[in-house]
Amino acid sequence: MTLDRDTRINVFDARDDSVTALPGSNTPDLFVREDFVAFTLPEDGALDLNGDGDTLDSSVLQLYDARTRAVANTGWVTRDVRSSGGWLGFHVNEREQGRADLDGQPGEGTAFVAIDPATGAERVPGIASTGFASPERETGRFLLQQSELVLGDLNGDGDALDLVPLLYDARRNSVHAPGLASSQPLVEVGPHVGIVVDERDHGAQDLDGDGLVSSGVLFVLTGSNAVALNLGFAGSWIGGHSSHLFAARSERGEDLNGDDDHDDQVLLDWSERTPSGRNARIVVGSIDGAFGEQTLVTLLEPFQGIDANQDGDREDAVLTAYDAGGGSVRSLGLGVVAAPAPLSFFGSTAVLVSEQAQGADLNLDGDLLDQVLHTLLQRID
């Protein structure tokens, strides 16, 4: 798909090498999923595309179906579109839409709407939402954020100051509200969701048992009914793969990685097989991709107290392979400066290795100033 000089959208179909030109705009919002292209059109004072009686709206959602090569006007004003479970979800400002009956609340607010692009079916579940609560993942549910400033006390702590996530399944038209306040992005893997609950936003309760009420505590919402499980650890969720959720757990008085101090962020692996969480015993910088049961993890040498890439110092961020099946960790010996690129369809991932971190002239140009591209095969042996 390309944009030409007049910012028209051109859709290339590899099945027959055809190109279809779609109506464009100066600032098109594009979303592509399988056979569908979602984009927006401005009314530009010409057409009332959403039926609100004016021609002033700047972004009315359109759907192009590559199977029929037809464009359908949805009539919804929106700027953010996500996909999950075959449905498209987005937020609609009631004032711009010219309707005040979409979010189930009095007055004009922001409502969540879902469309099945294959059938044109719409769901308006009456949810007042301020936005999405997690990065996009194809799990079949939309994770939404609700504001107590609009809706009142949703988590039962006696105030109306929090952000509270909600889970909506468009396929079943079902809503699950766990009643937990969280301002951090959620991490979703299959039917499980990692959520960090700030004790100060939950009625000043000591959720991790440390005698204080200042921690962000790790919770997991499990199963289709989003049952809340408190792991009892302070930390933050940083990623997930397959059936595993990964967190950076705060030591808080415990030496979890064996380096004789108590101030690290150590990798915690949660799955149904280890419902209390497994301590991976490495100080984690980030989760950078996965291959089967193995997960790429950036280990921080200064906090782990080891020379993981054997360059004579303990100052680097080093790529490691964590086996979530058995719990083992193996250094790949690469000092990295950026997270690996997403896994390509050729079964490899790319990483930039720092010559300075690696202590070697990797491209043989006589200096240690470069970042040199390395590729990893899908199977790490």
Domain of residue 86, CATH code: 2.40.128
Mean pLDDT of 133-138: 77
Determine the average pLDDT of the residues in 214-233. 92
Number of structural domains, the chain?
Answer: 1
- Within a domain: 349: no
Q: Is residue 22 part of a domain?
A: yes
For residue 3, pLDDT beyond 80: no
Domain span at 33: 1-128
State percent of the chain over pLDDT 90: 60
Report if residue 37 sits inside a domain: yes
Looking at residue 337, its pLDDT comes to: 79
Helices and strands, counts by H and E, the chain: 4, 27
* 177-223 residue pLDDT tens: 999 999 888 999 888 999 999 999 998 999 999 999 999 999 999 97
Phi, psi of 303 (to 5 degrees): -95, -25
Q: Is the C-alpha dihedral spanning 379, 272, 326, 295 positive or negative? A: positive
- Please compute, for residue 40, the number of CA atoms within 13 A of its CA located in the half-sphere on the CB side: 20
| Rounded CA separation 363/349 (Å) | 19
Mean pLDDT of all residues belonging to the chain: 88
Q: Which helix (H) or strand (E) holds 277?
A: strand 274-291
Please check whether residue 358 lies inside any domain of the structure. no
Asked whether residue 242 is assigned to any structural domain, the reply reads: no
318-338 tens-digit pLDDT:
999 999 888 899 999 999 876
17 within a domain of the structure (yes/no): yes
- Cβ neighbours around 65 below 10 Å, total: 15
In a domain, 311, yes or no: no
**Could you tell me how far CA 294 lies from the centroid of its own chain?**
20
Planar angle of CA 205, 208, 211, nearest 5 degrees: 70
166: buried, middle or exposed (CB in 10 Å: 19+, 13-18, 0-12)?
buried
Q: What percent of the chain has pLDDT over 70?
A: 92
Q: Is residue 62 part of a domain?
A: yes
